């Protein structure tokens, strides 16, 4: 590091899925020491948590923390209860926000990332949300990210002291195909990532939930073969 230059530190929300893994690589490629944060929030399976550990290790995150926070205790989502995960195309007239929405999840996760960032002295947060090929979740839209940044800069000692926070959402306007292409460009081993909402016990994707459908669409449109073909890599 050049003498006198300020170290770049970023906190990256890492689920183990395609998008957040590409964002971690993006942050590191921009010269950030990346502190990856994964939250076990009560989701029904641990496949993505295991994937997050592999991705953080493979990409060289400075530190990776997995913390427990039981949003499942509140219910309200097919991802945290025994409610059936929707499969196949959505029915005409269905709710535009699917049953896999977890109430206020990104608000909670970004708040945790903000707390860690402030404690670390970091002022940059990275999140892998997109408003293009997505499930319609309201906490993945540009307006949400912009307003959360505003909240971060209203309610923290760091911002009061003249050190504002920046929320980076580099995929917010990218299609899933563009995300796949970026991952390839950044050298991400996409075979380490997991996206399925309802995987088999061995980690194999169901290929029918919306997350699987969006992932397949992205790889197909990018002209890239999805390396995830079965269970966890050995």
> pLDDT digits over 109-144, tens only?
999 999 999 999 999 999 999 999 889 999 999 999
For residue 163, give Cα distances in angstroms to 47, 78, 154.
37, 39, 11
Dist CA 2 CA 165 (whole Å):
23
Residue 233 confidence (pLDDT): 39
Which CATH number is correct for 9-222, 3.50.7.10, 3.30.590.20, 3.40.640.10, 3.40.50.620? 3.40.50.620
User: Reduced to 3 states, what is the DSSP secondary structure of residue 166?
Assistant: strand
From residue 11, alpha-carbon distances to 74, 186, 197 in Å are 27, 19, 25
Count of CB atoms within 10 A of residue 97's CB?
11
pLDDT tens-digit readout, 59-97: 999 999 999 999 999 999 999 999 999 998 877 777 889
Query: What tens digit of pLDDT does each residue of 10-51 get?
Result: 999 999 999 999 999 999 999 999 999 999 999 988 999 999
Q: 153-170: per-residue pLDDT in tens?
A: 999 999 999 999 999 999
């Amino acid at each position: 590091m050049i003498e006198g230059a300020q170290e770049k530190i970023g906190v990256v929300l890492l689920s183990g899925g395609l998008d957040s893994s590409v964002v971690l690589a993006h942050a590191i490629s921009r010269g950030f020491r990346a502190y990856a944060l994964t939250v076990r929030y009560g989701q029904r399976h641990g496949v993505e948590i295991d994937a997050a550990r592999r991705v953080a290790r493979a990409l060289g995150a400075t530190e990776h923390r997995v913390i427990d926070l039981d949003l499942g205790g509140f219910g309200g989502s097919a991802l945290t209860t025994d409610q059936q995960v929707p499969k196949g195309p959505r029915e005409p007239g269905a709710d535009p926000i699917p049953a896999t929405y977890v109430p206020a999840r990104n608000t909670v996760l970004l708040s945790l990332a903000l707390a860690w960032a402030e404690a670390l002295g970091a002022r940059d947060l990275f999140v892998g949300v997109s408003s293009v090929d997505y499930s319609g979740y309201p906490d993945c839209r540009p307006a949400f990210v912009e307003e959360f940044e505003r909240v971060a800069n209203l309610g923290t000692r760091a911002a009061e002291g003249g050190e504002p926070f920046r929320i980076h959402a580099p995929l917010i306007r990218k299609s899933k195909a563009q995300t796949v292409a970026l991952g390839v460009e950044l050298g991400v081993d996409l075979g380490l990532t997991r996206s399925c909402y309802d995987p088999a016990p061995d980690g194999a994707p169901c290929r029918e939930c919306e997350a699987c459908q969006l992932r397949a669409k992205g790889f197909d449109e990018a002209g890239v073969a999805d390396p995830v073909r079965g269970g966890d890599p050995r």
